[in-house]
Amino acid sequence: MKTVILCGGFGTRIRDVTEDLPKPMIPIGRLPILWHLMKYYASFGHNEFVLCLGYKGQLIKDFFLNYQSHTQDCTIDLANPQKIHFHSTDAQLNWKVTLVDTGSDSMTGSRISKVRQHVDSGQFFLTYGDGLSNVDLKSLLKFHNDHGKTLTVTGVRPPGRFGELRANDEGIVSEFNEKPQASEGLISGGFFVCEPKLFDVLTDNNDLVFEQEPMRELVARKELAVYEHKDFWQCMDTARDWQLLNQLFATNQAPWKTW
């Protein structure tokens, strides 16, 4: 089962981290967040990917065209530069990655529509290239198949942006949560499961936003289901989000690290 990943946005809200990289290539640890996301899907046995490229997409292409040199230690014989010895066996070499230029100015619905020919007319996963989670993909897929809808979205409760204080009647703080999780309402966390019928509500028009007309049409048709995920989910919209993900990874507390 293939996984389509949206990798083409401009990432304007995270430019204070870097202006040189597309957002999916911003590193968590020493490797791009996109790699972490793909590694997570592959840990469930899903190792075929279709990447929807746009802004600075060539940098993503270059990463995969030179994958071993980016991800492994190596020895190079300078007298024979073509002779390179890589020091580890890389399980990711069984990944199949299709890189598709879906246009620098295309919106999300258009990008998905433009990779239709690469998903082999079967059901597929779909997600954004700038968020991580520990959603159980096996349970998500079972939920989708049990409900028989065109699209299933993973619903999450986002972490709070501000500290939450609880105090008694005398004004003495009894509890402080630095980043409490929102207790009401779900938002789309990505991590979709899609049927081929999804393409019936998509077009190649560059201004088509997947999260607007197409999803509203599916709601009207009663063809959109939501799988509630109550555990870890974190997007990388801002420098603060990036710092949090790096801190979790550096301290071996990364919930998405299943390898």
pLDDT in tens, 76-134: 878 887 777 776 666 667 999 999 999 999 999 999 999 999 998 899 999 999 999 99
Structure tokens at 94: 């069984």
Average pLDDT over residues 218-236: 94
Percentage of the chain with pLDDT > 90? 68
Residue corresponding to tokens 């289901």:
225
Q: For 131-162, what is each residue's pLDDT tens digit?
A: 999 999 999 999 999 999 999 999 998 776 54
The upper half-sphere exposure of residue 146, i.e. CA atoms within 13 Å in the direction of its Cβ, equals 8
Q: Which positions ≥6 away from 151 have C-beta within 8 Å?
A: 192, 193, 194, 195, 198, 215, 218, 223, 224, 225
> Which pTM was predicted?
0.86
Q: What is the pLDDT of residue 157?
A: 84
Q: What is the pLDDT of residue 209?
A: 96
What whole-number distance in Å separates Cα of residue 170 and Cα of residue 103?
59
What whole-number distance in Å separates Cα of residue 100 and Cα of residue 118?
9
Structure tokens at 149: 């809808």
Specify the CATH superfamily of domain 2-250. Spore Coat Polysaccharide Biosynthesis Protein SpsA; Chain A (3.90.550.10)
* pLDDT above 70: residue 205: yes
Q: What is the pLDDT of residue 177?
A: 55
Per the CB < 8 A criterion, the answer to whether 37 and 132 are in contact is yes
